[in-house]
Structure 1
Amino acid sequence: MRYQFLTLCLVFFISAITANATPIAANPDDGEYQEQLKAHFAKKGIDISPYFEDERFEIIETIKKKFTRSAEVKIKSLDDYKKVLRYEEKKEAAASFYAAYKEPLAKAEKEYGISQEVIIGILGVESAFGKYKGSYNPFNAYVSMYAKGYRKKFALAQLEELLKFTQRENLDVLALESSYAGAMSYAQFIPWSINRWFVGNDLYNMENNIYSVANYLAHYKKVTGSIEKAVLRYNPSSLYQQAVLALAKDVEPLTE
């Protein structure tokens, strides 16, 4: 009886606490984020409801981990970073890429003042010269960041830029491909960069990507004062910078 009494008291005590407890905040995945985003874009005259209803829309549950556990965060040495990048494969592929795009590379160098070797370095590291475009969707990526509370302001700003771009170019936003960070095409531009430095209308035209990389780097070379610092504006990781510049150095014999 004593144990039964204690058990009943404990049950009553827990029930009382539960009844008077402050409700737990709603999970951001419960649809509240959709209403917030719908209201935000409605003020801009954009109805994004159909995107949420589309079967291609999905939340990337592990979006935060993809950023916090990226190679640039986890890896400490350039040698290990190069292994993850498959650097030697990119180095070997550079010859055929240069042969195929020798003229636009030379034109970009002349017009923007950025060496074709550095342009090759960027495109090699970013997408293996067009081999990789990303396996995510930029709308899903940025909505996921917003929903999960990871870099919400950045995600919202990129969503605005993304929809500006897709509306201007009359594109299906959910048909686009990107990295988990929402970076698109062979140059891996985020929407903000696309709207400012992408040259041409076709995202998947390699010549456009070559000119766009040069255009972007030319801007930041002027801002920062050096090509080394400009590359860091592409990706703030020193390992990334070193890999790009190493690849640029390795392809110099091709362009001589």
Structure 2
Amino acid sequence: MTRLTRQLAKTCLVISLSGSALAYAGYDQHSRFNEFAAELEKEYQIPPAETRRWLAESKKLDSVLEAIARPAEKTLEWDSYQDIFLTSKRIEGGKAFMAKHAGLLAAAEQKYGIPKEIITAIIGVETFYGSRQGSYRVLDSLATLAFDYPKRPIFWRELKAFFSLAKEENLDPATVKGSYAGAMGYGQFIPTSFLAYAVDGDGDGQRDLWANPADAINSVANYFNVHGWRAHEPVVQRARVSGNQYQQAVNDNLKPKWTVAKLAAMGVSTIEPANAEDPASLVKLIGKQGAEFWLAHYNYYVITRYNHSRLYAMAVYQLSEALKQ
């Protein structure tokens, strides 16, 4: 090997090693780091040096990018979706959760006006009553989505909020676990929801949604209260359709833009009576026996504020009904 050849080989090795280092570097090395750090400092007063230290520990997770591309709500119909969330095991688990935390649930219902069955059903659908909170480091999940998933700039905002809540709650960002999308705790709050709706349910000075049922239960109840849950009003009921006019209202909008009376004029009828002037929407799901039609009241819409999916809202509602029995 000539001297020139040896020098070229060394140069290639250096380039190769530096390329590998960059490939596996934390997001503190990303080209948009300075932009992110400047926004974080402006919005949450977190110094860029601290942001760099945190993001230096982050890792890109291809599994997160794969998971975010195929959410269950977009790949399943109701006939399969209900088999996941309306099992006898989940129902019995919910009853056990309600029995164990009866006092906390009763107090939250009294304070916020949210039925204990709805609170429990949310936690049951989200994490099987706290037992499946997610194994991803939230730092890695949100950094991956914020910097390498351009279709969802929302995660840029969520990563900033995550650093803020970590600061507020005195948490090490590198130790917090959650879902592939950065949702955390019993109720799977994303960081902006944590900052806005998480509450200290037992007065210990901390909002611990991972290990403290009092905080988790009260935070879910507070979320629904702030989003306009209407106490003692219905959620959804079976409907019948006739003619063709109803088709213009099928799954047209999550937020009700019709009234019960207007839907009735389009050929939508229900078994149970409903106030003619109440806001409502017409939901069509594909169940095990084919198409199902449901008259959805305002509280159904409130459930979709937690997860923007008709399937999710129906699973929560039907699980809550099973927990009443």
How far off its partner does 1:139 sit?
A: 2.0
Counterpart residue identity of residue 37, structure 1? F
Structure 1 Cα separation of the partners of residues 214 and 323 of structure 2:
19
CA distance in 1, matches of 2:174, 2:219: 23
Q: What residue identity is the alignment partner of 2:30? A: G
- Alignment-derived partner of residue 51 in structure 2: 48
CA contact (8 A) 1:33 1:146 kept: no
- Paired with 2:217 and 2:300, the residues of 1 have a C-alpha distance of 18
Aligned equivalents of 1:111, 1:31: Cα separation in 2: 46
Shift of 1:36: 3.9
RMSD over equivalenced CA pairs, Å: 2.5
Query: How many Å separate the matches in 2 of 1:178 and 1:186?
Result: 10
SS state of the match for residue 133, structure 2? coil
1:182 corresponds in structure 2 to 182
State the 1:81 CA deviation.
0.8
The 3 A distance-change label for structure 1 pair 41 and 111 is closer
Correspondence list, 1:34-183, <5 A: 34-43=33-42, 44-46=45-47, 47-54=50-57, 57-76=58-77, 78-85=78-85, 87-183=87-183
Q: 2:60·2:143 contact (CA, 8 Å) conserved in 1? A: yes
Contact 1:217 1:227 survives alignment (8 Å): no
Higher share of residues assigned helix? 1
Q: Deviations over 1:219-247 (max 9, x none)?
A: 11259783211110000111111100000
Identity of aligned residues (%): 28
Q: Which moved more, 1:154-163 or 1:224-233?
A: 224-233
Moved more, 85-94 or 230-239: 85-94
Length-normalised TM-score, structure 1:
0.80
Map of 2:288 onto structure 1: none
1:251 aligns with: 323
Paired with 1:98 and 1:84, the residues of 2 have a C-alpha distance of 20
Instruction: Measure the CA separation in 2 of the matches of 1:152 and 1:32.
Output: 18
Q: CA deviation at 1:103?
A: 0.8
Structure 1 match to 2:226: 219
Greater per-residue strand proportion: 2
Pairing partner for 2:208 from 202, 205, 209: 202
Three-state SS of the structure 1 residue aligned to 2:183 is coil
Count of residues in correspondence between the two structures: 225
Alpha-carbon displacement from aligned partner over 1:159-192 (angstroms, at most 9, x marks no partner): 2211111111111011101111111000100111
User: What code does the residue aligned with 1:124 have?
Assistant: G
> How many angstroms apart in 2 are the aligned matches of 1:59 and 1:84?
30
Q: Per chain length, whose mean CA-contact separation is higher, i.e. which structure has more relative contact order (CA < 8 Å, sep 6+)?
A: 1
TM-score, structure 2 as length reference? 0.64
For 1:206 and 1:150, the matched residues in 2 are separated by: 35
Q: Distance in 1 between matches of 2:97 and 2:66?
A: 33
| Cα distance per residue 1:109-155 (max 9 Å; x no partner) | 11101111111110100010011111112222121112213345311
Unpaired runs of 5+ residues, structure 1, are 1-26
CA distance in 1, matches of 2:225, 2:114: 6
